[in-house]
Amino acid sequence: MKQGVIVTGASSGIGLATVRLLAEKGYGVVGMARSKKPEVLEKYAQWGAVYSQGDVICAEDRARALKTAQEAFGNVYALVNVAGVAPKVRADILEMTEESYDTVMNINTKGMMFMTQLVARAMLAQPRGEGLRGAIVNISSMSAYTSSISRGEYCISKAGASMITKLFADRLAGEGIIVNEVRPGIIRTEMTATVTGKYDALIAGGLLPIARWGEPEDIAKAVLLLIDGQLAYTTGQSIDVDGGFHIRRL
């Protein structure tokens, strides 16, 4: 029986790369995303993954994704929370609107919180064997600890994601479930496509010790490391996959 994994935000970028890698490594993967793109469905079919259309802010959609994994694979072993959005408009924090704040927080933080709660309960309801009972990985961002006053709501949402990781890590460690966080740096995705020139210049100017863009596959590989049992004694940890951005340098 394959170990079932649910990946949210799974139609592009980091989520799609994670679905592919985990499926290639033999996991039973259910990808959850809002949009149903024919080209994505074709890739899922090639990889042997299962698609569940839905939005993480909707309780019924979250429950459907869980049920899909349970019916397809008989279990849910891991959850990878990737779903996230940036503000539609980058605005000074003094001009931020409540609408923008609510939209970003609902998806990036509230959706992650209650998806994790739902899947954790399902993991606890499953028979406990030897080894890890389950693994949860939350994708946050270097913005969890980096000020960006033109998209404050995004920074706040990712800081919240970091605390969600610590809270569930604390609660579930005794149950054999580890919860960790991956903090991507500058990753080549749809979210960063509109600011490519800005980041090209920053990278060329020496912002990163590893002077290149990160790719979605870089994050997917970190996710695999966190769920495949190699770091079974690690929980509540934030792993920076950011080309060394987090290093304080003089």
Task: Yes or no: say if 142 and 184 are a contact pair by the CB < 8 Å rule.
Answer: yes
Given 51, 77, 154, 233, the catalytic residue: 154
DSSP secondary structure letter of residue 4: E
| Residues in CB range of 234: below 8 A, 6 or more apart | 178, 180, 226
Tell me the C-alpha distance between 8 and 28, whole Å.
14
Tell me the C-alpha distance between 236 and 241, whole Å.
16
Q: Which of 16, 25, 118, 10 is nearest to 64 (CA)?
A: 118
Residue 51 has φ and ψ, to the nearest 5°, of -105, 135
Tell me the C-alpha distance between 110 and 131, whole Å.
30
Cα angle 162, 164, 167 (rounded to 5 degrees) comes to 115
Active site residue 154: yes
Residue 198 has φ and ψ, to the nearest 5°, of -60, -50
> What amino acid positions are annotated as catalytic residues?
154
